[in-house]
Homo-oligomer: A and B are copies of this chain.
Amino acid sequence: MKALKIGVCGVGNVGGAVIENLTSSPQIVESNGGVKIEITQVGARKGKSAVPFDLDVTTNLLEVAQNPNIDVLVELIGGCDLAKDLIEESIKNGKNIVTANKALISTHGDELFDLAKKNGVQIGFEASVAGGTPVIKALREGLVANKVKWFAGILNGTTNYILSKMTDENSSFEDALKQAQELGLAEADPTMDVDGTDAAQKASILSALAFNTPFDFKSVAYGGIESVTPDDILYADQLGYSIKHIAYGSIEGEEVNVSAYPTFVSKDQLLSQVGQQMNALEIFCEDIGSTVYYGPGAGPKPTASAVIADLVDISNGGWPVLEDDIKKNTLCKEGKKTFSRYFKLDVKNEAGAIAKVSSLFAHENISIEALVQKESKQNSDIPSVPVVIISGPISDTNAFQMSGNLDSMEEITNSVKQFRIHNAL
């Protein structure tokens, strides 16, 4: 049987799950993958006490990168500093890399892949997006014969859990977040999940594969779910939508737009049915239409599953190595891509106010597809009424501008809210 000698750096939850899988049930990978994976060395900054396995442990991670007996370095320490040094040193020492590090790949991916190519080694990063759901494999291999037109994904489990909880149980954002934290689905500091950073990093990795763009997280536009209220979810439901945090990428000519925002998704779409902390990715290709991939997007065991799949792939020759002369497409932050929009306004309860709002839409040449003003039957003493407007397709720039214009109207009493509507066409 083939054999692969690996070094594992980082023994947190994911590193622990990788070691646990490979030492307690090696027969699964041997029988399914035809390879014996041997953990030759473990790098743990806290030393042997942090590694409850009978393995060679060093606190000097660079020692693993330089160990001549190791074929593949598995990087599970995270972050962009030591992780980058470690990977570069390993590559220079002729080792293949498997990593779950989305921050690193989405920021320094091009540099690292260039270095890997020069040194004749490969980098596996299936675990960096959608955890145990093999979406990188689908893009990199399964759909290799196709031109991807767009993708839409629920890539952050924490926000999907929070939005699902708000939808199913009418929880507030704060209560849902608290529950997610209690269940270990959100960090003590949930900023990176909740504000959209995590999903945007993953989306930039998908873009590199789907659209041949640079790995360039800085060119992804994104926003978080903090502004979604139970009211929005109720309006969405009445209009036939679920609210999901959707990472969306599309190509038009040689220009690629990638972004990640809370988004209305029509209930007849599979993505709208993805509940709890689950992830899903829809990939639309020119000739074959949509394929959808659904599964666990995080957690030690799903992430370990992806890491080990990469190791088996490396033992079987790895992945396509692309030519240098293929021109990359451009990733643009200012998206020309248009979406229909949900605008939520609080409008002064006075004659002519709604007419003035509608006129502004007409003036800006934005069509109104639907207008809901639910509480107009209530008594006329209340100072303002909530109004929901579904607009025709407009770009992000126009939508932000329109929100600003509405905000500055004296008939609008509260900050205007605006979300995209995903139409899978």
Contact = CB atoms under 8 A, between A and B. Distances in A.
Contacts of A212: 31-32
Nearest to A145: B308
Chain A binding surface SS class: mixed
Interface stretch (A174-182, A313-321, A375-383): A313-321
B133 A312 contact: no
Contact of A270 (B25, B137, B270): B270
A134 interface: yes
A209 to B, nearest CB: 9
A361 interface: no
Given A312-B320, A313-B141, A296 B302 contact: no
Contact of A134 (B141, B295, B317): B141
Interface in A294-317: 294-296, 299, 301-302, 304-306, 308-309, 312-313, 315-317
A169 to B, nearest CB: 15
A294 B294 contact: yes
Nearest to A37: B145
Contacts of A138: 134, 137-138
B312 A34 contact: no
A25 to B, nearest CB: 8
Interface in A255-303: 270, 273-274, 285, 287-296, 299, 301-302
B294 A144 contact: no
A21 B286 CA distance: 12
A287 B142 CA distance: 24
A8 to B, nearest CB: 14
B270 A288 contact: no
A33 interface: yes
A295 B296 contact: no
Contact of A288 (B34, B142, B273, B301): B301
Contact of A318 (B287, B291, B296, B317): B317
Given A133-B291, A137-B137, A290-B295, A312 B144 contact: yes
A132 interface: yes
Contacts of A133: 291
Count of chain copies:
2
A29 B287 CA distance: 14
Given A288-B295, A292-B295, A134 B145 contact: no
B270 A309 contact: no
A295 B289 CA distance: 8
Interface in A307-346: 308-309, 312-313, 315-323, 326
B296 A293 contact: no
Nearest to A304: B145
Interface in A229-244: none
A356 interface: no
A317 B319 CA distance: 9
Contacts of A46: none
A317 B317 contact: yes
A320 B326 contact: no
Interface in A140-163: 141-147
Nearest to A321: B34
A35 interface: yes
A134 B141 CA distance: 9
Nearest to A34: B320
Contacts of A308: 144-145
A360 B147 CA distance: 59
